[in-house]
Amino acid sequence: MIKFIIIAILISLISCKPKWTQLQNYTFEQYVRDFQKEYKADSEEYITRKKIFEQNLADIVAFNKEDHSYKKGVKNNTDESYFEKKEQFSIFKSSLDFQVMDPSTENSNYIYKAKGLTNLPDSVDWRDKGVVSPVKDQGDCLSCWAFTAASVLESHAAIAAGSGNLKTLSTQQLVSCVPNPKQCGGQGGCFGAVADLAFEYISKYGITSEFKYGYKSYFNDTYECKFDPLKQSPEVFNQGFAKITPNDQQALLEAVATIGPIAISIDSTGWDSYEEGVFDGCDYSENINIDHAVVLVGYGTDPKYGDYWLVRNSYGTEFGEDGYIRIKRESEPQCGIDSTPTNGFACGGDETPIKVCGMCGILSDSSYPLKVRVIV
């Protein structure tokens, strides 16, 4: 038994990736081993990646020595240039153009407006209620919109049916089957779409489980839709979705506190190196490029760095704080301009700049499914 314990410890030490506190003398050679990179020694690629890595590492170490509310770390893409990382992390989510209807009608969509609630809890974390599934990894596919929609629907289905009924729903069904004729947030599938389109699709066809239709688009292949409702029976339906009043912090706070996890849009600039803490790295004086879909699962207050939003990402558990990021929640939200909405916040080439508020534009575009019902 002791022999096996020693072996397990040695394996864990060999495969352990460094924390931000261990980067002062960290080398590219260690990085290649820790992250299992397959570069041929002394090749042109090796030399190029080493140069990029060392510059990025120097920037990370220098940043962590300063007084910031969050820390940066070494990630799988620390040997990539800024433009390579921006392309990887620019994953689309945008507003769907729809007609606001009477919320009492079937398949209706409506705007959630702040009710002025004054008795909201000081902190909310829907994970504590057993209605949030484990963090997933979208891989190279630009499918954050599908992961966001599936995760939010999983939570709302569990809330509707009871926390003991938490399901893992099929992201692949959404990636392969949701149409995107207006090219909202991209061209569809692994080339971008929007969570709202997924909610509309599920209202008509339902969504099956991950077990019945597993995710295989990790390496950026959308694949043809293979959903067969007779063989892969739908397990969850909803009836339309609600939009939350754009740029209204009180409305978003009330919604996540009283309704459940919320699909949100955000500027993910700077997230690639985030490791822990309360992120405040978006600059309002620059373009706020809304380019990513994530799930708001709560909010709270850090004793040192103040109020934050609790956000679930879809980059796996190695990202940030076990797959989550805490984003600064301002007492008086600042606003900026997204002057490049076609990068992910518009349909069909709409280039009209839009006002976005909150750190990284977190208040700009939010939604959740209506009348969720569990079939199985």
Does the pLDDT of residue 98 top 50, yes or no?
A: no
Per-residue pLDDT at 349 = 72
Does the pLDDT of residue 101 top 70, yes or no?
A: no
Q: How confident is the model at residue 94 (pLDDT cuts 50, 70, 90)?
A: very low
Angle at 225 between CA 138 and CA 107, to 5 degrees: 85
Per-residue pLDDT at 86 = 58
pTM reported for the whole predicted model: 0.86
Determine which of 141-150, 188-197, 345-354 has the lowest per-residue pLDDT on average.
Answer: 345-354
Q: Which residue has the higher pLDDT, 91 or 332?
A: 332
Per-residue pLDDT at 37 = 86
Q: How confident is the model at residue 12 (pLDDT cuts 50, 70, 90)?
A: very low
Q: Measured between alpha carbons, how far is 81 from 147 in angstroms, rounded to an integer? A: 26
Domain 16-80 falls in which CATH fold? Helix Hairpins (1.10.287)
**Whole-number average pLDDT of the chain:** 87
Does the pLDDT of residue 102 top 70, yes or no?
A: no
- pLDDT, one tens digit per residue, over 337-349 is 998 776 655 787 7
Per-residue pLDDT at 45 = 86
- Whether residue 265 contacts residue 341, with contact meaning beta carbons closer than 8 Å, is answered with no
Taking residues 185-197, report their average pLDDT: 90
Active site residues: 144, 292, 313
Query: Which sequence spans correspond to the domains of the chain?
Result: 16-80, 110-374
Candidates 1.10.3210.10, 3.30.420.130, 3.90.70.10, 3.30.56.10; correct CATH number of 110-374? 3.90.70.10
Type and span of the H or E element at 28: helix 28-34
Per-residue pLDDT at 165 = 86
Calculate the CA dihedral of residues 76, 82, 88, 91 and round it to 10 degrees: 130
Q: Which residue has the higher pLDDT, 40 or 368?
A: 368
Q: If we measure between CA atoms, which residue out of 265, 213, 256 comes closest to residue 236?
A: 213
Quick check: do 16-80 and 110-374 share a fold?
no
Does the pLDDT of residue 293 top 60, yes or no?
A: yes
